[in-house]
A and B are shown apart, each in its own frame.
Chain A
Amino acid sequence: DIVMTQSPDSLAVSLGERATINCKSSQSVLYSSNNKNYVAWYQQKPGQPPKLLIYWTSTRESGVPDRFSGSGSGTDFTLTISSLQAEDVAVYYCQQYYSTFPTFGQGTKLEIK
């Protein structure tokens, strides 16, 4: 299994400030034949299903604000919210879909400071 480990488990950021969530995979999720990292990020608000924010490490899903960005390669990945808004309070999950058995990180709870 590929284990995805997020840090921190929780994060409190002031409105308008930058929020950074990290995700580390236990093995590389970079597929050499297409040079793509098989990582996605999801946002989950209370009582709602997860919402896909970013796929292929850095491609924003349609309709996702450009304050959300993803980066990284190999085993280390980052989700950045450039200027935190009140509606961004949620739990964020990274996911690898490199293997036949996709796995998620444990989640990072983002709150307003």
Chain B
Amino acid sequence: QVQLQESGPGLVKPSETLSLTCAVSGYSISSGYYWGWIRQPPGKGLEWIGSIHYSGNTYYNPSLKSRVTISVDTSKNQFSLKVNSVTAADTAVYYCARSRSMSHYDALHIWGQGTMVTVSS
């Protein structure tokens, strides 16, 4: 059974870098699929941040692209998210998820439980 688990600091100061990791169990990232990040501000809807393939191919939300980096570490079977120069608007629950098929152009099938990140001094 494939499981995803997000981890990282729950509190980040404004202007600093938010860093999260998604650990994958039950499946090898280097076997395929796209692995993505989605966030949800408190009481609001879902915003897709970006996704990555183990080969390094990435897709990003154009509105976040200048501040976001998604990377993969196949040796640890995990992928990561970095968001630079954060503000209060980046406060959200951050989810990692896997695509339903090997294609980027597919639904998000398996989700982590999410981790709350608050941006505050």
Contact = CB atoms under 8 A, between A and B. Distances in A.
Interface of A: 1, 38, 40, 42, 48-52, 55, 61, 93, 95, 97-98, 100-107
Given A93-B45, A101-B59, A107-B45, A49 B104 contact: no
Given A49-B114, A52-B108, A98-B105, A106 B45 contact: yes
8 contacts: A1-B62, A55-B106, A61-B109, A93-B45, A95-B107, A97-B106, A104-B47, A107-B45
Interface of B: 45-48, 59-62, 95, 97, 100, 104-109, 111-114
Interface SS of chain A: loop
Given A1-B62, A49-B95, A100 B104 contact: yes
A42 to B, nearest CB: 8
